[in-house]
Amino acid sequence: MKYYSTRDKAVRLEGAEAVKMGLSRDGGLLTPETIPQIGEAFLKSLTDAPYQVRAAKVMGLYLTDYSQAELLQFAENAYGPDKFDTEAVAPVRTLDRTTHCLELWHGPTSAFKDMALQMLPQLLSAALRKTGEKKTACILVATSGDTGKAAMEGFADVARTKIMVFYPKDGVSAVQEAQMVTQEGENVGVCAVVGNFDDAQAGVKRIFSDTAIRETLAQRGYFLSSANSINWGRILPQVVYYISAYCDLVRDGKISMGEKVNFCVPTGNFGDILAAYYAGKMGLPVGKLICASNCNDVLTDFLRTGVYDRNRPFHTTMSPSMDILVSSNLERLLFDLSGENDGEVRSYMAALSESGRYEVSDTIKAALKEAFWGGFCSEESTAEAIGAYWKKGYLIDTHTAVAASVMEQYRRETGDGTVTVLVSTASPYKFCNHVLTAIGQPPAGDGVELLDQLKAATGTTVPRRLAALKGKARRFDLTCEKPGMDGVVLNFLQ
Evaluate whether 176 touches 209 at the Cβ level (below 8 Å).
no
The answer to whether 268 contacts ligand PLP (rule: CB under 6 A) is yes
- Interacting span for ligand PLP (CB under 6 A) from 68-76, 109-117, 191-199, 479-487: 109-117
The answer to whether 116 contacts ligand PLP (rule: CB under 6 A) is no
Q: How far is the CB of 113 from ligand PLP (least distance, A)?
A: 5
Nearest-angstrom CA–CA distance, 364 and 307: 11
The answer to whether 4 contacts ligand PLP (rule: CB under 6 A) is no
How many CB atoms within 10 Å of residue 186? Answer: 7
Evaluate whether 425 touches 321 at the Cβ level (below 8 Å).
yes
The answer to whether 271 contacts ligand PLP (rule: CB under 6 A) is yes
Evaluate whether 402 touches 267 at the Cβ level (below 8 Å).
no
Size of the site for ligand PLP (CB under 6 A): 17
Residue placing its CB nearer to ligand PLP in the complex, 263 or 492: 263
The answer to whether 332 contacts ligand PLP (rule: CB under 6 A) is no
**By C-alpha distance, which of 185, 195, 202 is closest to 149?**
185
Interface residue with ligand PLP, options 269, 317, 420, 433 (CB under 6 A): 269
Residues 124-163, one symbol each (x = binds ligand PLP by CB under 6 A, - = not), give ----------------------x-----------------
- Interacting span for ligand PLP (CB under 6 A) from 39-47, 205-213, 264-272, 299-307: 264-272
Burial 187-225 (b: 16+ CB within 10 A, else e): bbbbbbbebebebbbbbbeebeeeeebeeebeeeebebb
Edge-to-edge strand ranges of the sheet holding 222-225: 222-225, 136-142, 161-168, 188-193, 479-480
Evaluate whether 423 touches 272 at the Cβ level (below 8 Å).
yes
Residue placing its CB nearer to ligand PLP in the complex, 111 or 188: 111
Q: Which residues are catalytic?
A: 113
Interface residue with ligand PLP, options 266, 280, 428, 463 (CB under 6 A): 266
Nearest-angstrom CA–CA distance, 319 and 405: 13
Phi first, then psi, for residue 286 (nearest 5°) are -110, 135
Interface residue with ligand PLP, options 262, 267, 338, 381 (CB under 6 A): 267
**By C-alpha distance, which of 204, 179, 258 is closest to 426?**
179
Residue placing its CB nearer to ligand PLP in the complex, 112 or 197: 112
Q: How far is the CB of 491 from ligand PLP (least distance, A)?
A: 29
Give, as ranges, the residues between 381 and 420 that touch ligand PLP (CB under 6 A). Answer: 399
Residues 6 or more apart whose CB falls under 8 angstroms from that of 25 comprise 11
Residue placing its CB nearer to ligand PLP in the complex, 30 or 485: 30
Q: How far is the CB of 293 from ligand PLP (least distance, A)?
A: 9
Bridge partners (DSSP) of residue 141 are 165
The answer to whether 321 contacts ligand PLP (rule: CB under 6 A) is yes
**By C-alpha distance, which of 426, 467, 435 is closest to 448?**
467
The answer to whether 302 contacts ligand PLP (rule: CB under 6 A) is no
Residue placing its CB nearer to ligand PLP in the complex, 341 or 381: 381
Interface residue with ligand PLP, options 426, 435, 469, 488 (CB under 6 A): 426
Contact set with ligand PLP (CB under 6 A): 111-113, 146, 229, 266-272, 321-322, 399, 425-426
